[in-house]
């Protein structure tokens, strides 16, 4: 499948990715997510079924398979 980003010549590849999102102010990491990724521009597409499962995940009741340290870089992002 060709990448849908305009002007990008990439072919989407099936990969396993790590996805990070924030829920209630807490970062949550989900690994081993099946996704289509463009190796040229990095455009990522998650399957609808994967998205549904992701949204249904309840971090309060689900047992984590691991812990990840959270860092904040000492950079000023305001010019």
* Residues engaged in binding Zn ion (CB under 5 A): 3, 5, 8, 10, 38, 40-41, 43
From the list 22, 20, 31, 26, the residue with the least C-alpha distance to 65 is 31
DSSP 8-state secondary structure symbol assigned to residue 63: P
Q: Tell me whether residue 19 or residue 43 sits nearer to Zn ion (CB atom).
A: 43
Q: Cα(45)–Cα(36) distance, rounded to whole angstroms?
A: 5
Q: How far is the CB of 40 from Zn ion (least distance, A)?
A: 4
User: In the complex with Zn ion, which residue's Cβ is closer, 41 or 51?
Assistant: 41
Question: From the CB of 15, what's the least distance to Zn ion, in Å?
Answer: 13
Query: Residue 66 CB, nearest distance to Zn ion (Å)?
Result: 30
């Amino acid at each position: 499948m060709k990448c849908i980003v305009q002007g990008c010549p990439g072919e989407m590849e099936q990969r396993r990715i790590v996805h990070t999102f924030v829920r209630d102010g807490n970062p949550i990491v989900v690994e081993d997510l099946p996704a289509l990724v463009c190796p040229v521009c990095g455009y990522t597409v998650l399957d609808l079924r994967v998205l549904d499962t992701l949204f249904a995940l309840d971090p309060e009741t689900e047992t984590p398979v691991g812990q990840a340290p959270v860092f904040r870089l000492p950079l000023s992002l305001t010019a």
